[in-house]
Amino acid sequence: MSFRRRHLLGLEGMSRDEVLDILATARSFRQVLDRPIKRVPALQGVTACNAFFEPSTRTRLSFELAEKRLSADTINFASGGSSVSKGETLRDTVRNIEAMRVDVVVIRHGASGAPHFLARNIDGHVINAGDGFHEHPTQALLDLYTIQEELGRLEGLKVTIVGDIAHSRVARSNLWGLQAVGAEVTLVGPTTLLPAEIEKAGVRVKSRLEEALDGADVVNVLRLQLERMRGGFLPSLREYAATWGITRERLALCSPNVRVMHPGPINRGVEISDEVADSRESLVLDQVTNGVAVRMAVLYLVRGGRGNGAERIPAQEGSGA
């Protein structure tokens, strides 16, 4: 086993073996989800806190379900909060988490680096469930898992990520994770939404959709935040849909065996057409199911779990450090 991290803060710098290790562990947990009794005792006695400082439905539910499937005790903390009060809230949360002797904290926060701040300040394990525009590692891992299940491999695949790259933590985690396992990544979107010098991360960057879709094995479509119109990044939603929307016609440019992914929630008719979202190429719902298994694997591994946690009750686990 290669994954020996105490926290999962991001996929930047993660090795191929570490990524494959997580995916292999996820595969054994994925089988648990098809059993009549969908529960293993791997994290019995462990307390997990889901601290969500940004609204989230599916990621929070997915983590909560993963924790319950592993027999962990879970508590939830949700807070909106303006950007000014964020610092205050996070600091207080740190103190509370320490006082409650929580073992694992799953954090979603609007500020990039908030999970790193937490990891520096608490004894427990920290899992990043999305921080600012930085990373969303479990989303990328479930994307990788889903691609591997569908297409049987990751190495050498052409993956095109479409849309608002600049503000996307999903894009960043995906580009690290995909490149670690030998996939070829192309980013495409309006030039105002392509962040500075991203090509230095080893990816191909295109500003024309047709070029970027040519021969793609997977198209990962990002959600367009509607407030980008107000920020002056885009002239109109109509123009975005017409230029960047993934339609059946455009899919024809890709590999014949192409698959389409989306981290959700979908703006139908904007970044992706209805027809494509519900097509047989769409993996959107598989992503959701696989997300639970991947998060089970991550929770299990950061706690120091080794071997097949789905099949046996692990021997007395230490602190996992």
Partner 1 sequence: MSAPAEFPERVVIRGVRVVDPDSGIDEIRDLLIDRGVLEAMEPSLPPGVDGVDLSATGKIAAPGLQDMRVHLREPGDEEAETIQSGARAAARGGVTRLLAMPDTCPVADNRGVIEQILRSAAEACGTRIVPAGALTKGREGAALAEMMELRAAGVCAVTDADRAVVSSDLMRRAMEYARGADLLVISHCEDPALRGAGVMNEGYWSTILGMRGIPTEAETTMLARDIALSRRTGCRLHIGHVSCAQAVSLIRQAKAEGLPVSAETAPHYLALTEQEMRSYDALFKVNPPLRTEADRRALKEGLRDGTIDVVASDHAPHPTERKAVEVDAAPFGAIGLETALSVCIEELIVQQVLDWPGLIHAMSSRVAGILGWGGGRMEIGAPADLLLIDPDAVWEVQPDRFSSRSRNSPFLGRTLTGRVLLTIAEGRVTHMETALLG
Name the residues that contact partner 1, by CB under 8 A.
12, 83-84, 86-88, 90-91, 109-114, 116-117, 131-135, 166, 169, 172, 195-198, 200-201
Residue 42: CB atoms within 10 A of its CB come to 25
130 vs 245, beta carbon nearer partner 1: 130
Taking the complex as a whole, the smallest distance from the CB of residue 198 to partner 1 amounts, in Å, to 5
**Would you call 117 helix, strand, or coil by DSSP?**
helix
Compute φ and ψ for 119, nearest 5 degrees.
-60, -35
Q: What is the 3-state secondary structure (H, E, C) of 157-195?
A: CEEEEECCCCCCHHHHHHHHHHHHCCCEEEEECCHHHCC
As measured in angstroms, the least distance from the Cβ of 226 to partner 1 is 18
Shortest reach from residue 148's CB to partner 1, in Å = 25
Nearer to partner 1, 9 or 246 (CB): 9
Shortest distance in whole angstroms from residue 88 CB to partner 1:
8
CB nearer to partner 1: pick between 200 and 280: 200
Residue 163: count of CB within 10 angstroms of its CB: 30
Least distance from partner 1 to the Cβ atom of residue 83, Å: 6
Closer residue to partner 1, CB minimum distance, 65 or 111: 111
Which residues neighbour 4 within 8 Å (Cβ) at sequence distance 6 or greater? none
Q: Based on CB atoms, which residue is closest to partner 1, 122 or 201? A: 201
State the Cα–Cα distance between residues 200 and 203, nearest whole angstrom. Answer: 7
- Indicate the helix (H) or strand (E) that contains 218: strand 218-221
**How near is the Cβ of 164 to partner 1 at its closest, in Å?**
13
Q: By C-beta, is 69 or 228 nearer to partner 1?
A: 228
Cβ-in-10-Å burial (0-12, 13-18, 19+) of 45 comes to: exposed
Q: In three state form, how does the secondary structure of 264-321 look?
A: CCCCECCCECHHHHCCCCECHHHHHHHHHHHHHHHHHHHCCCCCCCCCCCCCCCCCCC
Q: How far is the CB of 68 from partner 1 (least distance, A)?
A: 29
Q: Which CB, 132 or 304, lies closer to partner 1?
A: 132
Nearer to partner 1, 11 or 241 (CB): 11
Spatial contact of 146 and 261, defined as CB atoms under 8 Å apart: yes
Smallest gap from Cβ 109 to partner 1, in A, equals: 7
How far apart, in Å, are the Cα atoms of 312 and each of 33, 43, 70, 158, 253?
15, 12, 12, 37, 47
281 touches 265 (CB < 8 A): no
**Cα dihedral 13→17→20→21 (10° resolution):** -110
Q: What minimum distance in Å lies between the beta carbon of 137 and partner 1?
A: 12
CB nearer to partner 1: give 37 or 84.
84
